[in-house]
């Protein structure tokens, strides 16, 4: 499966998925799959969250609690789960507030390592 096919698989199978993006901490996307009829601006949201994730990564390095693995940011209208792929990249899944949080975490945990292998 290509990056895009993997992202599409996650978004279409999670329940409530709106889009998923593989990106670097600079906020530049490597690849993405975004549903056309989604209620949220997935690209804008993930780009803004990238800056926050960079800050979290730095904080975690200071705290020495091992490598950062996952960050979830849930608001009134959005669920976003970021799964770290390697030291440079992460994948973010964006869902509406009715999205299946547990399944989202599961799919990212399962598919993340495959994305990491393909990115090497």
Residue ranges in contact with a copy of itself by CB under 8 A: 40-41, 44-45, 48-49, 51-52, 55-56, 59-60, 62-63, 65-78, 97, 102
As measured in angstroms, the least distance from the Cβ of 60 to a copy of itself is 5
Question: Which tokens go with 25?
Answer: 């901490």
As measured in angstroms, the least distance from the Cβ of 5 to a copy of itself is 27
* CB-nearer residue toward a copy of itself: 3 or 23: 23
90 burial (CB, 10 Å; 0-12 / 13-18 / 19+) is: buried
* CB-nearer residue toward a copy of itself: 72 or 119: 72
* CB-nearer residue toward a copy of itself: 71 or 115: 71
As measured in angstroms, the least distance from the Cβ of 10 to a copy of itself is 18
DSSP string for residues in 27-54: S-EEEEEE-TT-SS-HHHHHHHHHHHHH
Q: Distance of CA 20 to CAs 64, 71, 116, Å?
A: 29, 14, 15
As measured in angstroms, the least distance from the Cβ of 84 to a copy of itself is 9
Check if the beta carbon of residue 80 is closer than 8 Å to that of residue 91. no
């Amino acid at each position: 499966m290509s990056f895009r096919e993997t992202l599409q698989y996650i978004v279409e199978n999670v329940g409530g998925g709106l889009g998923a993006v593989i990106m670097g901490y600079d906020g530049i996307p490597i690849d993405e799959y975004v549903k056309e009829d989604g209620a949220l601006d997935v690209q804008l949201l993930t780009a803004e969250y990238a800056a926050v994730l960079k800050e979290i990564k730095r904080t975690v390095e200071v705290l020495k609690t091992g490598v950062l693995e996952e960050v979830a940011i849930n608001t009134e209208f959005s669920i976003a789960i970021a799964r770290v792929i390697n030291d440079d990249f992460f994948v973010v899944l964006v869902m509406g507030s009715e999205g299946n949080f547990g399944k989202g975490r599961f799919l990212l945990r399962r598919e993340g390592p495959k994305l990491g292998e393909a990115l090497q």
